[in-house]
Amino acid sequence: MPGCRCLNEENMKKFLLVLGVASFLAGCSDKQHYEEAVLEQMKSEKDVADYKIDPQHMTDCVVDLTAKNMPGMFPFDPDRMAAYQNYTKMLNLHKSEDPKKTLEELRQDFGSPKALSDAHANYTESIMNCYAAIIMEKEK
């Protein structure tokens, strides 16, 4: 059809590129919010201060370790992005105006109470493993 701006191959490529860039930026934002929530916790963590661990270094370690056990096959997988959002919400539960409601939302967001518990265990285990790794680094 003359004048029709249908999705031809070139337009489809442009569309997919724009969609990919938008997804990438959204994914970066989700991960960044999670990193900020972890950093906030690490700055107030007594053991981080007692062992003279840089909160940012601890944050980097915790984010990397927790991500290894999050859903999603690659960093910007939609499942991974949802996991970053859910973990951020989990870490900010104490800020909620209605913690009971937020906890119920988290159970739904994670898919079940067990999945929420597993996520919390993943986070806690990552913290403990990072303490061990960073303290061993300092002893070298």
Q: What is the pLDDT of residues 59-69, one digit of tens each?
A: 999 999 999 99
Domain range list for the chain: 9-139
- Asked if the model's pLDDT at residue 96 lies above 60, the reply is yes
Helix (H) or strand (E) segment spanning residue 124 = helix 113-139
Q: What is the pLDDT of residue 7?
A: 59
- The residue among 42, 32, 109, 16 whose CA lies nearest residue 71 is 109
Instruction: List, for residues 99-135, the tens digit of each pLDDT value.
Output: 999 999 999 999 999 999 999 999 999 999 999 999 9
pTM of the predicted protein model: 0.79
Token digits for 27?
């994914």
Instruction: List, for residues 22-66, the tens digit of each pLDDT value.
Output: 444 444 689 999 999 999 999 999 999 999 999 999 999 999 999
Distance, in Å, from the CA atom of 12 to the CA atom of 111, rounded to the nearest integer, reads: 34
Neighbours of 31 (CB within 10 A): 21
Token digits for 91?
């870490």
Neighbours of 50 (CB within 10 A): 8
Helix/strand/coil for 111: coil
Asked if residue 59 lies in contact with residue 127, where contact means CB atoms within 8 angstroms, the answer is no
